[in-house]
Structure 1
Amino acid sequence: MTDIIHFITAQTQLTTHTVKNTIELLNEDCTVPFIARYRKERTGNLDEVQIGEIVKFKEQFETLEKRKLTILKVLEEQAVLTPDLEQKVKRAEDLTILEDLYLPYKKSRKTKADKAKALGLEPLAKIIMAQNANDLESVASRHVKGDLGTMEEALEGARHIISEWINERTDIRNYIRNQLERFAMLSTKVIKTKVDDEQAQKFKDYFDWSESLTRMPSHRLLAVLRAEKEGVIRVKIEIDDERVLERIESRVIRSNNMCSNQIQIAIKNAYKRLMLPSLSNEALQIAKEKADASAITVFAKNLKQLLLGAPLGEKRVMGIDPGYRTGCKIVCLDAQGQLKYNETIYPHPPKNDAVGAMKKISSLADAYKIEAIAIGNGTASRETEALIRKVRFKNEIQVFVVSEAGASIYSASKIAREEFPNYDVTVRGSVSIGRRLQDPLAELVKIDAKSIGVGQYQHDVDQAKLKKELDTVVESCVNAVGVNINTASKPLLSYVSGIGVKLAENIVNYREEQGKFTSRKDIKKVPRLGGKAFEQGAAFLRIKDAENPLDDSAVHPESYSIVVKMAKDLGKNIQELIGNSKELQKIDLEKYCTDTIGLPTLKDIIKELEKPGLDIREQAKVFTFNQNIKTINDLREGQLLPGIVNNITNFGCFVDVGIKESGLIHVSNLSDSFVKDVNEHVSLHQQVIVKVLDIDIPRKRIQLKLYK
């Protein structure tokens, strides 16, 4: 335990006490949201990000230790494990150092050096490395026998052995690593057969490219590597070979004779054949890992903003998936998102039944008391929106354009089939659009996060790391908002702290068989939901209209007795205390501190009692695009247009101005001053005004500037 605490404190600068307690909680299978919210006293009030860092470095340490055990076992089996080598392996602080120590013993196939040693040339190699042979030719000629026909063959074999020794020198490998880190240039060349290939034109900028690997932005490196993967270009990593070779020679050669000439040849061979290829690949892999991390971070930030997007709430909604030839699919949903009716209308070409479509929309809105309409933002979206705005409804109805990214993925999924076994994919897609307006979080958790369309190069980054990070974001968002246990779907419940997929299924089955949960105590009756799962998840599961009002709050059941005592001391019941800021401010929190519950938790309880079950998200707002802009051909330089930020990257953000193509606000056009972080200037789904700077119709590219 001491080693891991030392490792993590060195990486995070957190206190030993904080790290130790957090590790203990993690080892007890506590989730990050639970620890951050309900174990503040033990962690020193760490937030989810800080706890996430501890999780990351804990996993790094455990991976390193596991690799050490594997290497020590192999070295022991090879009978090469000396006490000195064992100590070096145990003291290694990262995988690179560890693998360098293991390199001399890690051979999956026979090398040129192995073959030379088998021919008895190791003594000759040692003589050359000693650099004091006065007559090297005479010494080498003694090894000309058997399979060695000439003196040059003997010298060549000795050089292979020397090359391997040089390759295994940690100081030389680290020097080359340093040079690659500081001075490596990445260059590309297009494959001749791809120059005129239509599919390859999207990578045209990288047909002949050269840039510092260290300074290369993550998005550009990922684009280059994608082009290489698709067979469009070849990628090469280069440094100043002459300077590197001179430095290696100065570390190895200390004479000026025939031995030094042989060593010089061996050094060049070791560098060109062994070290540069492996270490340049290592440098590219490190750069790729950094680019992955950057891209994943951007994706995670976007996903969080999308999941915490403004919900309309429990309103009766009409969802419309627009289309031309196949028509517009309409669904009517009740306030809880249940499907009540579905229909297809054909207001657009080729049928052009706009009048009939308007009558149908009006009658359905009246029949199902629709309060809002959600229109998917895909094909025929603008035309459908214009049609809806012509309809004269009896009551005021808000009209929203909703992102339909991933709706088709959901509609064909197992989850959708289970929810709507008797309806086809078009109906399911329309339901998803409508529900996204009611509650984006509840609906989007049903879709693989990679398919939601926020971020770039999601298919090029490390998929395991991406999935882990996105799952963490979803879990964080779900628990930050809280879940109505009586209406939540299985996918939504599965992200609640301590629940998971199987218990989520058990909760839904219990709800269907026994009826609604009436108190948090009922949660304990769910099959296989034990004490640990209840401890982790109960406070994130809300029960509306429960007998105990605390059941619809973020107050943990373990703290109910404290609230009861507070109310009793004030001469009130719990119901009278909730929302009563004046009375709550009278409470002396010090009086209620215990060995396990301190001021951080008590302050959270008071904050929650003031506004129990408060949704941290904003309310959905209606937005209207410029009705005169229908296609990219309608754009003009200098125009000011309303738009919605629909994607954020490290190099800027993309804005939907109501046409098929999103425009780019490059990072340099976000502000007149230097922009360090795009997220400090815009957020996903933010409504903005943009100025059109440039329109490239052939390439379908639009350059914008943030106006306000």
Structure 2
Amino acid sequence: MQLLQYLIQQTQLSSKSIENTISLLNEDATIPFISRYRKEMTGNLDEVEIGEIVRFKEIFEALEKRKKAILKALEEQNVLTSELEQKVTTSRNLIALEDLYLPFKKKRKTKAETARIQGLEPLAKMIMSQRVNNLEHTASKYTSNEVDTIEDALEGARFIIAEWINERTDIRNNIRRELERHSTISSKIIKAKADDEKAQKFKDYFDWSESLMRIPSHRLLAILRAENEGFIRVKIEIDKERMLQKMEEKIIRSQNECSTQLQLAIADAYKRLLFPSLANEALSIAKEKADEAAITVFAKNLKQLLLGAPLGEKRILAIDPGFRSGCKVVCLNGQGDLVHNENIYPHAPQNKSIEAIHKISSLADAYKIEAIAIGNGTASRETEQLVKNIQFKNDIEIFVVSEAGASIYSASKIARDEFPNYDVTVRGAVSIGRRLADPLAELVKIDAKSIGVGQYQHDVDQTKLKKSLDTIVESCVNTVGVNINTASESLLSYVSGIGPKIAENIVNYRNENGSFTSRTSIKKVPRLGGKAFEQAAGFLRIKNAKNPLDDSGVHPESYALVDKMAKEHKKKVSDFIGNKEFLKQISLKNYISETIGLPTLEDIIKELEKPGVDPREKAKMFSFDQNIKTITDLISGQTLPGIVNNITNFGCFVDIGIKESGLIHVSNLSDTFVKDVNAIVSLNQQILVKVLEVDVVRKRIQLALVK
């Protein structure tokens, strides 16, 4: 099967769209660039559809690579027949391919291989033929110095037969189907670990059993984690007797001495070779599906978090709260630069709250603070209450900001390079403040896994997770656009076509030569060639540029078209900006050409209406219930404000202002069936919840969404 045919089959997209997309990908075009600026070529495919083409293209190429390796190995063994070559070439997946290769795979020393060396393969063939009348007499001919008895000879022959049975594709596929449809996964506590405190979080799985096909991804990952940590044993089971009967029906054709040996060989093949291997394969497939589901949830959460509402370029006082070590306070200017830092000690054991209030008030006046960001970690509620009691001279908005991953950033090389003369506490507080100003710009500096917006991120396939999350970060960065004159190296590295090295060169060039004044001046950056400029330019913004299009999503390749529009309507390009009524009057069909179609023209008009406008919402203030300070303050039936801080397939977790987050199970999100939790709630959404149940010992809170 050819690549194009395979992709059409897998994606159900048109051949022209796929062909053109592959052509662009082969020219090193990125997904954001293709989806945004090559709509005519792709038939208006979005990032998700292009991503599917990329994914299935990689699967196909991996399969083809494996086929070549197997064909080469078979050829070197002189066992490659035209029939076998045809089967290998037409294989549709890796499992079928490996089954074909299994009989020829170089094996470590097995029981069957030992038996062959002992000369027992002819005996095995005779038993398989089922035509031997006096098997004991026949087997006696195969005793030797290495094969002491007739039973040893028969056992060796059975080992060889078991291996042949193991290599039969039809039998393997029958067991696979049984595992896929009817297998159960069960778990039992390891008795010695039953009282282990760490094991208690897996208490639900101390004695558990359910269908492997139907087990939810989060539950499978939890069970496998418990097994990996040594608390439980996991088993996969199917109806063994039914499978043995089916195998015997396929293999045994007569009832004689040979059939007895075949029954023994079948049982041995099943127990020792087939079931362990295929049960592991089934569990591995289930784990892959669970990984995909978990990664999908993680990616959705990350996207919502990265596209969270920014406060914008405001002067911010940020507080990283704490008790014994005090609260680290930093002041940032409108560009996010650190202008002041110090410690205050308003809480126990120092209890210098009056002094802390005076200090925060004076800093707010001195640095004309417009907003205060308080980290949501230890002492957050107490610090928030303290700050809200301060009578500021000007209106100052107060926000509680997630600290997730801040400690990772503060100890990172990126943070050390940004603030070489400050310790981790200062860096952490700066990160909290910058997250309020622009979550995307700050969070790209942190390994996405450390942000904490998913479950089991350390249990899933790490390569797949990283690839998925990098794709999400790239998509978000390019959706919003980047101010090239203020963006960090980390943020720039995710811009289409740039990457880490060119991002470093951009920052170095900016430091040496000052701000970029036009998009064309970007070409002066070392190693930023024509291709990189083509891919990146439309996503880079230059504020107050001479050409207003430089602060828009209009690609430089379309500047001439916009100039033509302006000239024909006897206006300047600047007259178009924000002039919605006039832009509506332009007849776009007059500007359609071989390379530019209606989708691109409509995008251009949208950008001219609102050039450089951030697509994200603005940050909103929020207050928790001040009467709820710990889990012991909760009572069933209470209605509380909360913020969604994590979303899973089984529900969402809600921050209600205490250390423990509450869970709204999917069944408590709506009166009707909920297929996708993200369709009901979104990350950082402010909601009302009702307390259903509180388990103080296990620190679990069950909530329901108040409609």
With normalisation by structure 1, the TM-score equals 0.99
Q: CA deviation at 1:125?
A: 1.4
Matched, 1:698 2:697: yes
State the Cα deviation string for residues 670-694 of structure 1 (Å, max 9, x = none).
0111111100110000000000001
Secondary structure in structure 2 of the residue aligned to 1:647: strand
Matched, 1:342 2:338: no
What is the match of residue 353 of structure 1? 352
Q: Which amino acid aligns with 1:215?
A: R
What is the match of residue 85 of structure 2? 86
Matched, 1:567 2:566: yes
The worse-fitting range, judged by mean Cα deviation, of 85-94 and 126-135 is 126-135
What is the match of residue 590 of structure 1? 589
**Which structure 1 segments of 5+ residues have no match?**
none
State the Cα deviation string for residues 33-72 of structure 1 (Å, max 9, x = none).
0000001111110000000000100000111111111111
Secondary structure in structure 2 of the residue aligned to 1:585: helix
Q: Which amino acid aligns with 2:549?
A: L
Q: Which amino acid aligns with 2:544?
A: D
Q: Which amino acid aligns with 2:269?
A: A
2 CA distance for matches of 1:655 and 1:115? Answer: 61
What is the match of residue 250 of structure 1? 249
2 CA distance for matches of 1:79 and 1:233? Answer: 47
Matched, 1:382 2:381: yes
The worse-fitting range, judged by mean Cα deviation, of 130-139 and 343-352 is 130-139
1 CA distance for matches of 2:119 and 2:346? Answer: 87
Q: CA deviation at 1:157?
A: 1.4
Q: CA deviation at 1:371?
A: 0.4
Matches within 5 A, 1:487-506: 487-506=486-505
What is the match of residue 64 of structure 2? 65
Q: Which amino acid aligns with 1:327?
A: G
What is the match of residue 53 of structure 2? 54
1 CA distance for matches of 2:330 and 2:222? Answer: 40
2 CA distance for matches of 1:97 and 1:207? Answer: 36
1 CA distance for matches of 2:494 and 2:16? Answer: 29
What is the match of residue 266 of structure 1? 265
Q: CA deviation at 1:589?
A: 1.4
Over aligned residues, Cα RMSD in angstroms?
Answer: 0.9
Matches within 5 A, 1:122-161: 122-161=121-160
Q: Which amino acid aligns with 2:253?
A: R
Q: CA deviation at 1:659?
A: 0.7
What is the match of residue 486 of structure 1? 485
Secondary structure in structure 1 of the residue aligned to 2:400: strand
Secondary structure in structure 2 of the residue aligned to 1:671: coil
State the Cα deviation string for residues 413-439 of structure 1 (Å, max 9, x = none).
000000011111000000000000000
Matched, 1:430 2:445: no
Q: CA deviation at 1:266?
A: 0.7
Q: Which amino acid aligns with 1:460?
A: D
What is the match of residue 278 of structure 1? 277
1 CA distance for matches of 2:447 and 2:140? Answer: 69
Matched, 1:18 2:42: no
Q: CA deviation at 1:105?
A: 1.2
Q: Which amino acid aligns with 1:315?
A: K
2 CA distance for matches of 1:692 and 1:163? Answer: 59
1 CA distance for matches of 2:189 and 2:123? Answer: 46
2 CA distance for matches of 1:138 and 1:361? Answer: 99
What is the match of residue 120 of structure 1? 119
2 CA distance for matches of 1:201 and 1:359? Answer: 46
Q: Which amino acid aligns with 1:224?
A: I
With normalisation by structure 2, the TM-score equals 0.99
Secondary structure in structure 2 of the residue aligned to 1:179: helix
What is the match of residue 300 of structure 1? 299
Secondary structure in structure 1 of the residue aligned to 2:25: helix
2 CA distance for matches of 1:657 and 1:199? Answer: 25
Matched, 1:545 2:544: yes
State the Cα deviation string for residues 146-189 of structure 1 (Å, max 9, x = none).
42222222211111111111110000000000000011111112
2 CA distance for matches of 1:585 and 1:220? Answer: 53
Matched, 1:681 2:680: yes
2 CA distance for matches of 1:668 and 1:590? Answer: 50
Q: CA deviation at 1:210?
A: 1.1
1 CA distance for matches of 2:347 and 2:414? Answer: 31
1 CA distance for matches of 2:447 and 2:682? Answer: 22
Which consecutive segments of 4 or more residues in structure 1 shift more than 4 A? Answer: none
Matched, 1:111 2:92: no
Q: Which amino acid aligns with 1:414?
A: K
What is the match of residue 472 of structure 1? 471
2 CA distance for matches of 1:340 and 1:110? Answer: 70
2 CA distance for matches of 1:111 and 1:100? Answer: 18
What is the match of residue 397 of structure 1? 396
What is the match of residue 663 of structure 2? 664
2 CA distance for matches of 1:106 and 1:278? Answer: 15
State the Cα deviation string for residues 523-549 of structure 1 (Å, max 9, x = none).
000001000000000010000000000
State the Cα deviation string for residues 596-646 of structure 1 (Å, max 9, x = none).
111111111111111111211001000011111111111111010000000
The worse-fitting range, judged by mean Cα deviation, of 626-635 and 588-597 is 588-597
Q: CA deviation at 1:280?
A: 0.2
State the Cα deviation string for residues 509-567 of structure 1 (Å, max 9, x = none).
00000000000011000001000000000010000000000000000000000000011
Secondary structure in structure 2 of the residue aligned to 1:614: coil
Q: CA deviation at 1:382?
A: 0.7
Q: Which amino acid aligns with 2:372?
A: I
Q: Which amino acid aligns with 1:618?
A: E
Secondary structure in structure 2 of the residue aligned to 1:654: strand
2 CA distance for matches of 1:232 and 1:432? Answer: 38
1 CA distance for matches of 2:353 and 2:26? Answer: 62
What is the match of residue 164 of structure 1? 163
State the Cα deviation string for residues 82-130 of structure 1 (Å, max 9, x = none).
1211111111110000100110111331221112122222222112111
What is the match of residue 364 of structure 2? 365
2 CA distance for matches of 1:255 and 1:606? Answer: 80
Q: CA deviation at 1:79?
A: 1.5
What is the match of residue 32 of structure 1? 31
Secondary structure in structure 2 of the residue aligned to 1:620: coil
Q: Which amino acid aligns with 2:488?
A: S
The worse-fitting range, judged by mean Cα deviation, of 394-403 and 587-596 is 587-596
Secondary structure in structure 1 of the residue aligned to 2:313: coil
2 CA distance for matches of 1:239 and 1:337? Answer: 60
1 CA distance for matches of 2:686 and 2:616? Answer: 16
What is the match of residue 652 of structure 1? 651
Q: CA deviation at 1:586?
A: 1.7
2 CA distance for matches of 1:113 and 1:322? Answer: 67
Secondary structure in structure 1 of the residue aligned to 2:585: coil
What is the match of residue 227 of structure 1? 226
Q: CA deviation at 1:389?
A: 0.9
Q: CA deviation at 1:383?
A: 0.8
